[in-house]
A and B are shown apart, each in its own frame.
Chain A
Amino acid sequence: MSEATVTTAPASPSASRPAGKPRLTTSAMIASIAAEGQATRPAPFGHALVEQARLNPKIVGMTADLAKYTDLHIFSREFPERFLQMGMAEQLLMAAAGGMAKEGFVPFATTYAVFATRRAYDFIHQVIAEENLNVKICAALPGLTTGYGPSHQATEDLAMMRAIPNMTVIDPCDALDTEQCVAAIAQTHGPVYMRLSRGRVPVVLDEYGYTFKLGRAQLLRDGRDVLVIASGLMTMRALEVASRLARDAIDVGVLHVPTIKPLDVQTIVEQCRRSGRLVVIAENHSCIGGLGEAIAMALLQARVQPEVRHVALPDQFLDAGALPTLHDRYGISTDVMAASIQRWLG
């Protein structure tokens, strides 16, 4: 499995390709989400976990045959005796992590988001959450971050995890957010589902004086015309959109909501209460059951009714293909999000 985005020849022989037509691109399973030239940091999750494990000897790392692809190998090299390889068995992984937590350990269990949530749902629900155990589920390839098709695209993970009582659900934006999130959840009791960016992860939030606070939304930049409320990868894109639209004298604010549950209703409602702004909720997740619906309910209950648009993945099984193609196709790329906002503003 290659980690790099690769360029391949089209299906038809190149000789028959019309002159000037670009080569098609395709994507490896783990395509980088970093844009060209973007500052990145390697394996922020793995390194942050090592740091926390030095402070707390009860932290253990567990995985279902995906240590290398969730950056847990950084931890396993440093603490081989505290690393447990459970094999390609996600139900076992979650239940055994529950068992370790019952014995006083703080397991960080990693696999891909699809397998954690879809395959082991009942084990997360019954073994971990129902007993409020101190298990941290760290799930790579969240949302649409692979072109491998619906088998690997975790487009419903937030919906499923939000629905489980006791579960804290986090969608960090960049390397900085991820590192600080690991520290925060390691030091807080209770079950957590955390979306994980692995490999070379962009660093974006350092320019905004940002610090991750569990359960808190944070305004990264203010704006008169539009407020984008975003989590995870989409916060990065919202910031880029804001810079671009500023050139067209459109003033876009960005509210980052890394903790999807519990939701920082107070900050979100306060920001949405400011009249005259278009509110755009942006998430790398199905339009069903994620950040958008969580915020919609919060606004309804607070009787705050701004004009709202939703940038999210459609309620479909998505195509396989190259990530840039798919992000354009489904409207979550920076380009399409910027164009959508301009269109919505009329």
Chain B
Amino acid sequence: MTEQVWEEAAVSAFERIRTHAWRVRRFALRMGEVQGQGYVGQALGWADVLAVAYCHAMNIRPHEPEWEGRDRFLLSHGHYAIALYAALFEAGVLPPEELETYGCDDSRLPMSGMSAYTPGMEISGGSLGQGLAIAVGQALGLRMKRNPAFVYNSMSDGELDEGAVWEAAMSASHHGLGNLINLVDLNRQQADGASYEILNFEPLVDKWQAFGWHVQRIDGNDLQAVIDAFDMARAVTEAKPRVILFDTLMGKGVSFLEQREKNHFIRVEADEWQKALADLDETHAAGSPA
């Protein structure tokens, strides 16, 4: 293969993932419009990570969500369900026509993620800070079964306040869980305000390193960096659990949402949803990672 073709193949793979990320954001916005509200800011900020996870890194069979060989993706922050549903539509696990049912009675897509409701939803998260400890158990179980799958735990920075996260962090390295990859969304916002003001968790790289983890900290909205970080996390050969700390921007891709100060739980006026979609499409067409 010539160098030229290599470059083109790389560009097109990148473009493919960039399109996935854009579509994940579109799905999230459209679900937000169904309810008129939701954790849309988080979905927009986390979309690059989800697109890379579901459309690049993870080993899954979209039409067989309980396939034994699948990589497990645990949504510890069940609040982010809107973001994961968007990724599950995009990955082909969920049919996009169900989008209209988001958050409605008897829907398979409740506002907070529940495993009994939704194909591809591995746990019922939402009581924050539990996912990583469940992931430890699943990683131990997979190793005992000699199943080479990875367990990904998706969590937010606010969850770092919970003590059980650090119990799990110690345990994962004690047990040498090289099949565990923790993904932390550092969006710096939680219910009562700025994360750093509520309970300062820095210096995070030092903390995870001290707990015996392989650590990467990157811009979670730099798509190439996200791709590289996932590739690295899977390729490390040390028997250590891996964590990727993603600095993200809430509302990423929709300019007026990026600038909104209080965007932990976004309420968007009815006429703004179309504006948000149009803004997102423009950003995408302009070639920005979003």
Contact = CB atoms under 8 A, between A and B. Distances in A.
A126 B135 CA distance: 14
B115 A89 contact: no
A91 B163 CA distance: 9
Given A87-B174, A130-B124, A95 B141 contact: no
B116 A99 contact: no
A104 interface: yes
Interface residues of A, number: 28
Interface string B116-149: 1000001110110010011111111110110100
B171 interface: yes
Contact of A100 (B126, B138, B171): B138
Contacts, number: 92
A33 interface: no
Contact of A105 (B135, B136, B144, B170): B144
Interface in A95-124: 95-105, 107, 122-123
B133 A123 contact: yes
Interface centre among A82, A100, A104 (most CB of B within 10 A): A100
Given A123-B130, A123-B133, A126-B127, A96 B164 contact: no
Given A91-B163, A123-B164, A99 B124 contact: no
A91 B133 contact: yes
A98 B122 CA distance: 12
A96 B140 contact: yes
B167 interface: yes
A335 interface: no
A131 B131 CA distance: 14
Contacts of A126: 124, 126-127, 130
B171 A98 contact: no
Contacts of A100: 137-138, 140-141
Contact of B141 (A86, A99, A130): A99
Contacts of B167: 87, 89, 91-92
23 contacts: A87-B167, A89-B167, A91-B133, A95-B136, A96-B133, A96-B134, A97-B137, A98-B137, A99-B136, A99-B139, A100-B138, A100-B141, A102-B141, A103-B138, A103-B141, A104-B145, A105-B141, A122-B127, A122-B130, A123-B130, A131-B115, A131-B116, A131-B124
Interface of B: 115-116, 122-124, 126-127, 130, 133-142, 144-145, 147, 163-164, 167-168, 170-171, 174
Interface of A: 60, 81-82, 84, 86-87, 89, 91-92, 94-105, 107, 122-123, 126-127, 130-131
